[in-house]
Amino acid sequence: MAKINNKKRNRPSAEDIAEEMYKVDIEALPGWDKVAALSNETKCCGIIVIPDIVIWKDTHFICAFIISLQFTFDDVEDPESFSSDFPASAEGHVKGTKPIIDRIIINTKSFDM
């Protein structure tokens, strides 16, 4: 008879993690400061969580998502703004059976100057 791994049974589903990602304030998470520094005003316009991509290590996880960002560059007479999508990941852990998002990593390598 196969041995059941109880740690896996108590893990939240990928859909639970995605639901938590949609609830969390992305701009308040550690890691946001790095992307916020790319313009005078950086805003999160939305995310698309990819629930098929969740990597587990014990009670910690990494999940993938796409983030839409708006960058505004101040010019006294004519501020410029544009939006773009970037690949990102969220790192988190499980408390009880609830996923907790600890930090985000946004890949802006194509944008960094």
- pLDDT tens digits, 91-106: 999 999 899 999 999 9
- pLDDT tens digits, 38-66: 999 999 999 999 988 999 999 999 999 99
Please name the residues in contact with 50: beta carbons below 8 A apart, sequence gap of 6 or more: 63, 64, 65, 66
Band of the pLDDT at 78, cuts 50, 70, 90? confident
Band of the pLDDT at 10, cuts 50, 70, 90? confident
Dist CA 101 CA 86 (whole Å): 19
Question: Please, what are the domains in the chain?
Answer: 12-106 (3.10.450)
